Structure 1
Amino acid sequence: MIRFEDVTITYAERPVLADLSVEIPEGELCLVVGRTGSGKSTFLRAINGLVPHFSGGTLAGRVLVDGRDTATHPPRELADVVGFVGQDPVAGFVADNVEDELAYSMESLGLSGDVMRKRVEETLDLLGLAALRNRPLATLSGGQQQRVAIGAALTAHPRVLVLDEPTSALDPGAAEDVLAAVQRLVHDLGMTVVIAEHRLERVAQYADRAFLLPEGRIGGVGEILTTAPVAPPVVRLAQVAGWEPVPVSVRDARRLAAPLRARLPEPEPEAIAKTETVLEARDVVVRYGEVHAVRGVSITAGKRERIALMGRNGSGKSSLLWAVQGSGKRTSGTVTVKDTDPRTLKPAQRRQTVALVPQQPSDLLYLETVAQECAQADTETGRPAGTCRTLLDSLASVSQDAHPRDLSEGQRLALVLAVMLTGAPEVLLLDEPTRGLDYPAKEALAEVLKNLPTTTVLATHDVEFVAEYATRVIVMAEGEVVADGPAREVVTSSPIFAPQVSKVLGPWLTVADVEAAL
């Protein structure tokens, strides 16, 4: 179905992909694996012709999809064969509400009204979007928008579905629903699916094969992940325990884990240390028209506390962060950071009191180069020249001369985080900070955040990052707090928010914890 023949893709004389030859047969779910910047997005975009027709660059070799050469067939001539969902779903929206967005691709293909109506209803049910059918896209949470984007690609009934980070903004339950739906498409309809995903723990068990970039090796999922620079916790746990063959699912790992479980002692109980209160929010209410996003939430955070805010998509996490930061809507309630309400501060002062990194970090980038963004951050905060650049280098490898819009999702996040940390805020708020980051980058981010003299509150669906980083977890549902306590206590008691190691070994959270105990 998909064939790359000696493909090399070059930008400004620098090859992003070199001499790739691979064939993905019909009816297979192929997982594309590699570090951030290894060329995964370029590989995916070459499948439907976005590379090189819209991205520029030079394509050598041939890419064939269902017998069509992408060099001579632009994306519009492949739209009936290939459905594509990029990292940023909002960038691909063309309509105003959910139902119209789902219908748009079929309108472009000239399908009849009866067929369009039937497919829209099927897709709404398949992805759990029926309750959102008339909602404006701008009012949806990031995860809801991602499900709509996947649905819009599916309504055209393509034979190939290409997904770039499809679960990055989804809560664990919603991610399972989407991936189960994708698996049904593969098994029941014979659709070919190609997925690039940094959260491999969510996808690996569904894949038929894995393709490693930039090396270009393809093989069994366990075989590839064992030697890859990125691997989910269950694979790393298998390497520590010496399990053969290497399991890629929690079920297979549990079958091998009894001897290891018997060797491990009970972990030390956790308690939240009492420290000076830095952030206090009381009875915060956020209402958008008839929608109650946050319903009287009260939280306090101590100095250097690391809090993870979890909950399903639409539970009010982002609305709470923006209300705390001061520039978002707060219908009622009070927020103080060191006895000051952030809403009363000017933007520059607010950034040095409570800084927020949004779900779309690129919203905060407006200069021509990375160097200019870093220099501007130093100037605005009165820090010595090079402060922002040093922080950025600790998070990611990014060229000084690169345009911020040309960076990968992970690199843009690292740049915005460095810009925000330059001001040394009392409180740092992060909304889905691990989107686009691979495992080594997330480990580096966790270490940076752990060493900050800052109180941090992050909203995330990344249970593995929470296990690695958080000291405390707050779970929200329907705009209210439903759980608040030490990280291990909260996540291990939940089948949805438990990390992979915990699902295999009970109270243990990370592979590093297990290694230390052994």
Structure 2
Amino acid sequence: MIRFENVSVTYGDPGGAPTLRGVDLTVPEGELVLLVGPSGVGKSTLLGAVSGLVPHFTGGTLKGRVTVAGRDTRTHKPRELADVVGTVGQDPRAHFVTDTVEDELAYGMESLGLAPAVMRRRVEETLDLLGLAELRDRPIATLSGGQQQRVAIGSVLTPHPKVLVLDEPTSALDPAAAEDVLAVLQRLVHDLGTTVLMAEHRLERVVQYADQVLLLPEGVMGPPADIMAMSPVHPPVVALGRLAGWTPLPLTVRDARRGAGPLRERLTGLRPEPRTSNGGRAGSSASPAFEARGSGGGAAGFRFWRRPAREALLSDTLVDVRALGVRRGRVEALRRVELTVRPGETVALMGRNGAGKSTLLGSLVGMVEPTSGSVLVSGRVPHRTDPRELIRQVGLVPQEPRDLLYADTVAAECAAADTDAGAAPGTCRAVVSELLPGVADDTHPRDLSEGQRLALALAVVLTGRPPLLLLDEPTRGLDYAAKTRLVAHLRGLAAEGHGIVLATHDVELAAELAHRVVILAGGEVVADGPTAEVVVSSPAFSPQVAKILAPQPWLTVEQVREAL
């Protein structure tokens, strides 16, 4: 179905280092092939070569030959491959051409001239498959990032292409929505013989669905278990299997649980050291920002968690939200939300797509005005504070990093960040080098991968070292190594007293970093408590290690390694 014959792609100077080098492989019809590798090794470029976007749209020089269903992408432009290849890139907003969900799902079929009756049936099927029926009449601009991603995926499913090319398809989806999308893809592969080529960094979600895994930059393709045994990029279940010496390496929680008995015995009587809210270890002088009262686990038990009296915290608090309500037209985005964040505390906001996480972050940075209730950040009302003053108190990294990037080079972005923050020259560049090693100063931000752009945007905001840092989906597009560097940096900031609030669907990030987890549903807080208590009590938000070693209290491979 897809054939790469000694393919290399070079951007900029044709004599420069190629982004892809000597790729030679065949993807059979009706298989799901997963691309893995560190950020910036050319995964998006390889996917673009299949759809014809590389080099017809992106520019650059393509050497070698790529054929899809017998069509040579050098001579067939993307529009001449549209009936065969459906593509969803990392940024769903760049994909949309209409205003409403239903119109977007129909647009691709209209372009191909399908009969109205066929179009209507396929739209209804796709609305049901992706859980979009309630959103059919909604303007796309009013949807959350995860909802937009599902619409983008649905719009390429309705024409029934033979090949699906997906770049980070679950990165903005909550765990349940991601499982639904992956189940749909598996059904297309198994029942309809669709060929799926997918790049994804959250391997814990997808590796078990793959027929084959392609490792870049090596260009080696094979069965998932074989590639995971050699890949520097691997999910927690594989990392735990390597640590425990399991053979063969498990790819799923179920397989790992079957062989975890001896490891559980070695860990009996041991417990992970909890991090306190000042970023240190248990036993430090800082008091915790929460306490568990009452009894019970599960969703009912969440109702019993209460933080210490608000009056006792006001002298040492960064965020003080009381009975916050936000209404947008007919949609009640937030309802009576209560939230307190202290210096040195890291709080993870979790919940389904559209639960209100980004709206809550927007209210903390003054972008969203409350309909009811109150919001204080460092004693200021955000939406009534001069932005030039507020930016020194709170920094937001949005879901789309390009919203913060305006300059033509990485060096220029860093210089501007230093000037805006009043920081010493080179401050931002040092943060970039820590989060994103190996990127040249003269690189244009648009030539970075999505994960690399995110790291650059993070560095720009971190340069100002605001007392409160807000991150919206901060690990989209980041590989495991980049995520580890980010976690280390954020832990250092928390240890210095910075408050961090991150909205995330990445359960592994919450397990590694957060002191507290707040779960939103329908705009309301339904759980607020210590990370270990909240995530373990929720199957949807529980990390892989917790599922494998339950009922023992381990959340991460790092904790297990330290204990052993």
TM-score per shorter chain, which class?
A: over 0.9
Residue 183 of structure 1 aligns to a residue in which SS?
helix
Structure 1 unaligned residues grouped into runs of 5+: none
Residue 14 of structure 1 aligns to a residue in which SS?
coil
1:45-444 aligned within 5 A:
45-265=48-268, 266-268=270-272, 270=274, 273-274=287-288, 276-397=316-437, 398-444=439-485
Which residue is 2:510 aligned to? 466
CA contact (8 A) 1:186 1:192 kept: yes
User: Aligned partners of 2:43 and 2:384: how far apart in 1?
Assistant: 44
Which residue is 2:302 aligned to? none
How far 1:374 moved relative to its partner?
1.1
The aligned amino acid for 1:205 is Q
CA contact (8 A) 2:320 2:341 kept: yes
Residue 176 of structure 1 aligns to a residue in which SS?
helix
Please, what TM-score do these two structures have when normalized by structure 1?
0.98
Which residue is 2:9 aligned to? 9
User: Aligned partners of 1:159 and 1:327: how far apart in 2?
Assistant: 43
The aligned amino acid for 1:465 is L
| Pairing partner for 1:489 from 533, 536, 553 | 533
Residue 157 of structure 1 aligns to a residue in which SS?
coil
Pairing 1:514–2:560 present:
yes
CA contact (8 A) 1:354 1:427 kept: yes
How far 1:405 moved relative to its partner?
2.0
Residue 80 of structure 1 aligns to a residue in which SS?
coil
CA contact (8 A) 1:351 1:420 kept: no
Residue 535 of structure 2 aligns to a residue in which SS?
helix
User: Aligned partners of 2:367 and 2:188: how far apart in 1?
Assistant: 43
CA contact (8 A) 2:272 2:554 kept: no
User: Aligned partners of 1:332 and 1:363: how far apart in 2?
Assistant: 28
CA contact (8 A) 2:272 2:559 kept: no
Please, what TM-score do these two structures have when normalized by structure 2?
0.90
Structure 2 unaligned residues grouped into runs of 5+: 278-286, 290-315
Residue 18 of structure 2 aligns to a residue in which SS?
strand
CA distance 1:269–1:295, shift in 2 (3 Å): farther
The aligned amino acid for 1:134 is D
The aligned amino acid for 1:118 is R
Taking only aligned residues, the RMSD between alpha carbons, in angstroms, comes to: 1.2
User: Aligned partners of 1:336 and 1:351: how far apart in 2?
Assistant: 14
User: Aligned partners of 2:454 and 2:273: how far apart in 1?
Assistant: 34
User: Aligned partners of 2:99 and 2:81: how far apart in 1?
Assistant: 25
The aligned amino acid for 2:548 is V
User: Aligned partners of 1:282 and 1:236: how far apart in 2?
Assistant: 42
User: Aligned partners of 1:20 and 1:382: how far apart in 2?
Assistant: 46
How far 1:337 moved relative to its partner?
2.2
User: Aligned partners of 1:400 and 1:348: how far apart in 2?
Assistant: 28
Q: Which of 85-94 and 276-285 deviates more?
A: 276-285
| Pairing partner for 2:45 from 32, 42, 46 | 42
User: Aligned partners of 2:440 and 2:382: how far apart in 1?
Assistant: 34
User: Aligned partners of 1:231 and 1:87: how far apart in 2?
Assistant: 20
How far 1:269 moved relative to its partner?
7.8
Residue 30 of structure 1 aligns to a residue in which SS?
strand
The aligned amino acid for 1:5 is E
